């Protein structure tokens, strides 16, 4: 029975230690308590503790030094939040600051919900691209974009592998207008988990965005999955409205990459 239960216990110990490290209980370079001490503290076997420490090492949070101990290895601080008073400029800036790996590129008839969002005619085709974005070699987003075929044909697969999509859309003569987006939670499937270097079923931030041109015509549908330990969305709110009907309204959204 223990052999079945121990893996889940190891996961629990990993999460507890990860939260303690993230919460500042241990500083960079601190030595964690030894396996016997942690086993006694959490009431588990040393094998379970060892598995949890191995998971921390795989996450880059600790370094295991045989015969010496396990030491916290906190990453360098991330840059501060990017000013996104002009959200499209910021998205292009983010594209230039990160590295991209193009996993898939092609044309076809998209799913009905995407075809409707892009206002495609029956049987209309779209360009579909799947990319992974990283900073300093650490993946933080898995992006799936659909663009109407006549727009997607203005740039090549090589262009998309090296330049931000929004820049390519503008280069093709499209002036960016408004965008609508929603944010939800999701879980990592096998393909996404491998690309983002997370466990299958790991929680992710899911963002869906529909970009329109200056005439209000939809030109891009984006579905993005972000690692919550490497990326956050921050929003400032202000009180608006008249007395008796006041409410919180958003100020410009800030997007911040967490420490890698």
> Which fold, 82-236?
Chorismate lyase (3.40.1410)
Distance between CA atoms of residues 48 and 6, nearest Å: 6
At residue 116, does pLDDT exceed 50?
yes
- Angstrom distance (rounded) from CA 123 to CA 248: 42
78 neighbors 260 (Cβ within 8 angstroms): yes
pLDDT digits (tens, 9 = 90+) for 162-198: 888 888 888 888 888 888 888 888 888 888 999 999 8
What is the tens place of the pLDDT at every residue in 41-63? 999 999 999 999 998 998 888 99
Residues of the chain with CATH 1.10.10.10: 9-72
Residues of the chain with CATH 3.40.1410.10: 82-236
Distances (CA, A) of 41 to 9, 45, 56, 61, 148: 13, 10, 18, 20, 58
Tokens 């594209």 belong to residue: 95
Residue 79 has pLDDT above 90, yes or no: no
**pLDDT for 138:** 86
Q: Which residues pair with 253 in a beta bridge?
A: 235
Residue 43 makes CB contacts below 8 A (sequence gap 6+) with none
pLDDT digits (tens, 9 = 90+) for 15-46: 888 878 876 678 788 999 999 999 999 999 99
The CATH topology of domain 9-72 is Arc Repressor Mutant, subunit A (1.10.10)
What pLDDT score was predicted for residue 76? 55
Res. 89: pLDDT tops 70: no
Nearest to 192 by CA among 93, 103, 78, 76: 103
Per the structure block, which two tokens stand in for 237? Answer: 């709110």
């Amino acid at each position: 029975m223990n052999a079945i239960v121990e893996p889940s216990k190891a996961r629990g110990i990993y999460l507890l230690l990860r939260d303690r490290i993230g919460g500042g209980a241990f500083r960079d370079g601190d030595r964690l308590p030894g396996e016997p001490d942690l086993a006694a503290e959490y009431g588990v076997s040393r094998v379970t503790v060892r598995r949890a420490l191995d998971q921390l090492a795989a996450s880059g949070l600790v370094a295991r030094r045989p015969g010496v101990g396990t030491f916290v290895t906190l990453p360098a601080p991330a840059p501060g939040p990017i000013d996104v008073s002009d959200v499209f400029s910021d998205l292009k800036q983010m594209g230039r600051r990160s590295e991209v790996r193009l996993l898939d590129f092609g044309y076809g008839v998209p799913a009905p919900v995407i075809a409707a969002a892009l206002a495609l005619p029956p049987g209309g085709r779209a360009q579909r691209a799947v990319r992974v974005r990283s900073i300093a070699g650490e993946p933080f987003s898995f992006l799936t974009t659909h663009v109407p075929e006549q727009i997607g044909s203005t740039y090549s697969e090589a262009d998309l592998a090296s330049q931000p999509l929004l820049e390519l859309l503008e280069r093709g003569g499209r002036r960016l207008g408004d965008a609508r987006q929603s944010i939800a939670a999701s879980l990592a499937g096998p393909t996404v988990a491998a690309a983002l270097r997370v466990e299958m079923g790991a929680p992710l931030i899911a963002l869906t965005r529909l970009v329109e041109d200056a005439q209000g015509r939809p030109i891009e549908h984006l579905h993005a999955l972000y690692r919550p330990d490497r990326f956050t969305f921050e929003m400032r709110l202000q009180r608006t409205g008249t007395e008796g009907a006041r409410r919180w309204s958003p100020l410009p959204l800030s997007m911040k990459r967490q420490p890698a």
